[in-house]
Chains A and B, each alone.
Chain A
């Protein structure tokens, strides 16, 4: 009985691990999409051609050709009746009420794959192309910056043990992270992301990347302080995203809304920043990151 326990644990771990590794790719397969549209007839708002407005009697020097009040009495066109498209062309509402338990998938639910359509083979090997070369230079600079600081970190780490309370070292590029008070949710966490030099510097790096390169903010939305997004990010050792999930709100609101836009932008910002090039020997520190985007996370 007891001997079988490790085997059982290993078997379960293998299944969970396999699911964990393959899960991100479940949704990236090229799909043949079912024809699912909202069909809308454009109703014409015509401008009447025959008017009761007095015509200009005097000869105008620069009269544009499109003068109203034509001589021939034309019939004023009625607006076409707005018609429903035939059944086949109507929307197929796949998931008007998205299953609440499937958080990451509710934006792309059950499309019906059509077996008859050939899928392009090129779609599969895409992931290799994903790391874009363009943003590497600033990352490398930051890597240099971080590696130069590592010796400082190590010596500080040694002395930290003697210090009763570790205090964050403010890095020279001032970021909101250092100045900003902690979000409400994080204040009660005990020991989470301790404010030591290592975490502060790593956080400053992630902050800087998201703020300057990947996120476009929500300042253009009305009352932007209302639109705050908390995400949980888990990273692989190479800095690629292992998992990105919404914490607050738990899911993207359906349809067009300012909160939906804020969620879209937040998720896109983190995904655009991939890969996060952080020191591999400190993977344990940065393998999981709580990302808070929005003015509401800053104490007034």
Chain B
């Protein structure tokens, strides 16, 4: 009897072992990027006008859809209508309509310190995992939802905040919807163009004009850390770099340079501004500390050096120079020490572009690994990206004139301006880092030179 049991156990073990060995091994290296289907039913209005909830829901849907990474499940496909933010949905109803993620939210009116406020709350459900998708709060804790409160006049910002939270949870990176874009609004005939500094929400809403148009303004750049803009203005007759404080609505000339200054850009910490000064036909780079207002010369070369942009860690600067005979991109150490160049040898400034054509307006990605640029080649303009070692150049766009790239604060999207044909009007566009999702940004006027703000607080 005992022997039989031993034999049975051995046979059983062998059977189990052989079954375990009979595993399939499936390796899938990559798949085509497919937009994630997300359902965002209208948020429930609790004590507020349903139109408020509708507006917030619409803005969230538009924000997410504009990325090209999501498709919004149409409302008429919904099976379950009785959603409640406090109750798990009927997952089967959402699987049938092939929705990956379900966003459920409320908009309610609350009173605090005698003020009437609007509060938006949101949760996301993983339909196929049949579980809540948890967020991480600022303290690193996992929470089941996000909640934002503001005044009734600012409900669009609640929507952008919620869209950012959803985007971040589904993509793993920060969103960019609660941001602004500063740009040059152009009006009037081509030979008497009025160019004004303008600012709008990233989705084109809430346009405001910051300058009057009495003088031409060019190349605005947002501070990555504060509500400040730097730009070149012809106010006073001589082109100079200015600093504009959005909250105080005050502008000031930056530094007391004797000559023309242009092509400004903030350092990543927002504490200094890189700019170009032209002296007797020669242009060199300078770095101005915004606290001390002291400037330091970065390049001293007979060629034209311009369009500097600093790396996120502040240690390197990419700029445009014709020191090699044609406009190309170069990288230097911020402290001016020699560096080992990717193409070999050591130099203070290393050339990183060697393709045919002319490269200009380099902008270092917030992620730090790529540089966006404008390239002119064979009569066409492109927006492209290249690795900081000069490898992996990719052209993302092509047209009669594409120029002036700038990164979204998460380094995912590039905005630029385009003139599709000779004499046509400039308009703002954006394109995903991958080259997908090329789309226009709608503005009230002709527009150029867009620059993205950081995420608002």
Contact = CB atoms under 8 A, between A and B. Distances in A.
Contacts of A169: none
Interface residues on A, range: 35 or more
A37 B367 CA distance: 29
Nearest to B35: A216
Interface residues on B, range: 35 or more
Nearest to B121: A37
B227 A45 contact: yes
Interface string B210-228: 1111110000000000010
A31 B87 contact: yes
B26 A292 contact: yes
B180 to A, nearest CB: 8
Interface string B254-291: 00000000000000000000000000000000000000
B209 interface: yes
B98 to A, nearest CB: 7
B302 to A, nearest CB: 36
Nearest to A272: B128
A30 B21 CA distance: 37
Contacts of A49: 249
A222 B82 CA distance: 39
Interface string A28-40: 1111111111111
Interface in A122-176: 122-123, 126-130, 132, 134, 176
- Most chain B CB neighbours (cut-off 10 Å) among A55, A128, A220, A267: A220
A197 interface: no
A68 B22 contact: no
B30 A295 contact: yes
Interface in B18-58: 19-36
Given A48-B249, A292-B27, A297-B27, A64 B445 contact: yes
B145 A206 contact: no
B88 to A, nearest CB: 5
A277 interface: no
Contacts of B28: 176-177, 207, 210-211, 215, 291-293
A108 B251 CA distance: 51
A41 B214 contact: no
Interface in A258-287: 258-262, 264, 267-268, 271-272, 284-287
A220 B251 CA distance: 40
Nearest to A33: B86
B245 interface: yes
Nearest to A82: B457
A291 B304 CA distance: 56
B212 A94 contact: no
A54 B251 CA distance: 10
Interface string A202-220: 1100110011100111111
B247 interface: yes
B170 interface: yes
Given A68-B209, A216-B32, A46 B143 contact: no
Interface in A37-91: 37-58, 60-64, 66-69, 76, 79, 82-83, 85, 89, 91
Nearest to B244: A53
A108 B2 contact: no
Contacts of B154: 42, 44
B148 A268 contact: no
B209 A62 contact: no
B105 to A, nearest CB: 11
Given A119-B87, A258-B173, A51 B210 contact: yes
Contact of A216 (B36, B142, B161, B246): B36
A217 B250 contact: no
A239 interface: no
A268 B100 contact: yes
A191 interface: yes
B149 A42 contact: yes
B149 A48 contact: no
B30 A217 contact: yes
A39 B149 contact: yes
A62 B248 CA distance: 27
A21 interface: no
A239 to B, nearest CB: 13
B24 A199 contact: yes
Contacts of B249: 47-53, 68, 76
B148 A42 contact: yes
Contacts of A51: 210, 249-251
A111 interface: yes
Contacts of A56: 212-214
Contacts of B145: 36-38
Contacts of A285: 22, 24
A242 interface: no
- Most chain A CB neighbours (cut-off 10 Å) among B129, B133, B199, B207: B129
B172 interface: yes
B425 interface: no
Given A40-B161, A132-B98, A2 B5 contact: yes
A14 interface: no
Contact of B130 (A27, A39, A95, A180): A27
B434 A220 contact: yes
Contacts of B69: 220
B452 interface: no
A192 interface: yes
A288 B23 contact: yes
Contacts of A44: 150-151, 154, 157
Contact of A66 (B126, B142, B209, B213): B209
Contact of A53 (B149, B169, B211): B211
A42 B185 CA distance: 28
Nearest to A25: B130
Contact of B129 (A37, A107, A134, A215): A107
18 contacts: A31-B87, A35-B86, A51-B210, A62-B188, A91-B137, A92-B143, A96-B140, A126-B92, A180-B29, A222-B369, A256-B171, A264-B126, A264-B133, A284-B19, A285-B24, A292-B25, A294-B29, A297-B27
Interface of A: 2, 5-6, 27-58, 60-64, 66-69, 76, 79, 82-83, 85, 89, 91-96, 98, 107-108, 111, 117, 119-120, 122-123, 126-130, 132, 134, 176-177, 180, 182-183, 186, 190-193, 199, 202-203, 206-207, 210-212, 215-222, 224, 254-262, 264, 267-268, 271-272, 284-295, 297-298
Interface of B: 1-2, 5, 19-36, 69, 82, 85-88, 90-93, 95-96, 98, 100, 112, 121, 123, 126, 128-151, 154, 157-158, 161, 168-173, 180, 185, 187-188, 194, 199, 207-215, 227, 235, 245-251, 367, 369, 434, 444-445, 456-457
